[in-house]
Structures are given as structure tokens and as C-alpha cells.
Amino acid sequence: MVERHWAILLLTWGLGPSSSVCLALFLVNRWLINWVDGPFKNFAIGATGFAAVGFAIWSVQSSLLTSVVLPVALLSIFAVGEAHRAYLRASYRPRGGGGNPVGSICLLRPVTTTAVVTRHYTTIADLGVGGIRIAQLSDLHFNATLPAGYFESVFEKVRAQSPDLLVITGDFISKAEYFPVLKRLLPLLPKAPLGVHSILGNHDHWAKLPEEICQELSRAGITPLGGRCETIPLPGPRRLLICGTEKPWGPDALLAATEAEDYVVVLSHTPDNIYEWSERADVMFAGHNHGGQLRIPALGALVMPSRYGRRFDRGHFKVKRTELFVSAGIGVDRPHVRLFCPPEIVVLDIKCL
């Protein structure tokens, strides 16, 4: 009887805290993390943490219903959700290659804040040219924590790839106070023969400086595309149509009538917009998630600012006709550190049939 008592005690002490942690992470990931930064958001996240601790303590000290049945029900719901996410991720992964996998993790070097890697991907399309190379930067988050030399080294790595087109998918700054840093670093960005195009991210809008940032982008030779599309002429019959959507924080792009030969590239700060474009775009570039920024080996990211959870955390996916490339980003936001999640430059080679 004593052994059975201890077994039940260990079970209840494990179920309560586990279910409360899962519930707290669900609330933070799906809602709270997407609120505008500020004291109220910080309070809500802190209150959620305290509530999770309180729920865990209450559950293990209460009846069988609250100490076992309720936690098991919650954990079962989350398990079904994770299984569904894993199924969708597997179904969205391109077959027959389509890019190099995420590199192996070195357990002895958990901090990867400035360990920049370049992810190379390839897709096939008949553009009527010898091929196009597109480089993507995302979530630069210019701030006072990462030195200017770090960003300069990233720009040099991009320049070494000799891209035909450079795209930047938002979050240039985290707060308005870092706007002077943006003004100093933007002119250092590399140029590309087909241009440099960008959109803004949620932090750019939360800083309440979208117009000022777009002005600085234009001064640096970067084309802001928030809420509109632009045609890039190509030799041959096809056109490259590049569109920018900043939804849900800014303007959405209205795709005009396209011709069959148009090759449509969409810049979206969040990959959550993929389903709205999956029958209209050939390629979508996104970021926002930072790959989780803090990852646990074998488990992955715990915090993911997406209504789809970890479904599109980082990497290459194909949803209907659209190939989606989600960058883990270059910079950092609170906390100003990356664990087992290196910053990355995405390079896509579009090759002819």
C-alpha cells in the first residue's frame, strides 16, 4: 500500500505541473506574445506564469478529478494538437530535396547569438533566363546589444553570395529608440542587380515609425513594398511580380490580375499568411518566428508567436502551389540571446527547367 501511495503521489506531482506549463505556453504563444510590447503585456505574461504555478499547486492538493483527470485531459488535448502539427509539417515538406537541412546541434555550444549560417535552397521554374538567385534577410532588430560589426559581417556574407535580388522581411528595429542605429546601418546593406525590396514587421509598426523607416529605406536604395506589388522585368516572356504584405499589423497586398507567365514572389513578415497566398504565389519569404530563438535539442522551440504554433517555425515548406521559406532571422529580441538557434541568411536559387 505504501508503494502504491508513493506511485500515485509521484503521478499527481508530475501531471499537475506538466499540464499547467503546457497551458501557460499555449496562452503565451497563441495570444499574449502577439500583443503590443508594453507594461500590460509584461504583466499579462507574468500573471499567466503565476497562475500556472498556482494551478499546479492546487491540482496536486485537490481531489482525484483535479489532480489526475483534469491534467490528463489537458495533456491529451495538447498531444493531439502536437500530433496534428507534426503531420502537417511532414505533409508540407517538399519531396525530392529542396534545400539543405538545419545543421547539427553542438551541445557544448548552446549560445548561437552571432553564429550566422547560410541556408541554400533550390527550386525549378521556367523564367526564360539562366536562373535567379534571391537572398533573404529577416528580423534584423537593429539595437544597442549586437555591435555594428556583427551586422557588417552579415552584410558581407550576403554580398559574397552575389544575389540577383535581395529581400528583407521586416522587423528592422525593436523599439523607437534604436531608430538612429537603423539610420547608420541601412546604407551598409549590399545592393543587387534586380534591386533590394522590403516590408515592415510588427515591431516596426509597434515602434510607431513606419513612415520614417520607409523613408530611410528609400534613401538607402531599398524599395518598401508594404501593401503593394511591383513588376521586375526579365529577359524573355515571363515577369517577376513581387508583392509585400504586412498583415495583420500593416497593409495587405492586393494582387492585381496576373498573366499565366507571371512568377509571383510574396514578402510576408509572418508565415501565418501562407494560406491566403497558397494558390496565388509561387514563392513566399517570411520570418517573424526567429526559429523560436531559444530552442531545446530534440524538443525544438517552446515560444512561437504564431497562431499555428510550431507548424512553420523555420525552414522550407510547400503549401499547395507556394513554396514557403521561413528564416530564423538575423537579430534578437528579448531576451537578447539565441540558444541552439543560429541566425541565418536564406539563399534561393531559381533554376530553369
pLDDT digits (tens, 9 = 90+) for 258-312: 555 688 999 999 999 999 999 889 999 999 999 999 998 888 888 889 989 889 9
pLDDT band at 123 (very low <50, low <70, confident <90, very high): very high
Mean pLDDT of the chain: 86
Averaged pLDDT for residues 224-229: 93
Domain layout of the chain by residue ranges: 2-91, 98-351
What are residue 100's phi and psi, to 5 degrees? -75, 145
344: pLDDT strictly greater than 90: yes
10: pLDDT strictly greater than 70: no
pLDDT digits (tens, 9 = 90+) for 161-191: 999 999 999 999 989 999 999 999 999 999 9
Q: Give pLDDT, residue 97.
A: 47
Per CATH, the homologous superfamily of domain 98-351 is: Metallo-dependent phosphatases (3.60.21.10)
Least confident of 91-95, 215-219, 316-320: 91-95
CA-CA distance, 92 to 85, in Å (whole number)? Answer: 11
Least confident of 38-47, 64-73, 76-85, 207-216: 64-73
CA-CA distance, 338 to 328, in Å (whole number)? Answer: 10
Q: Give pLDDT, residue 169.
A: 98
136: closest CA among 320, 278, 302, 265?
Answer: 265
What are residue 264's phi and psi, to 5 degrees? -100, 120
Cell of 147: 555591435
* Inter-residue contact 313 to 301 (CB < 8 Å): yes
The residue to which cell 509539417 is assigned = 89
The residue to which cell 560589426 is assigned = 149
Averaged pLDDT for residues 137-144: 94
Helix (H, G, I), strand (E, B) or coil at 159: helix
Helix (H, G, I), strand (E, B) or coil at 43: helix
Percentage of residues in the chain having pLDDT higher than 90: 53
45: pLDDT strictly greater than 60: yes
Q: Which helix (H) or strand (E) holds 349?
A: strand 344-351
218: pLDDT strictly greater than 90: yes
Sheet holding 165-169, edge to edge: 117-124, 344-351, 132-137, 165-169, 196-199, 222-224
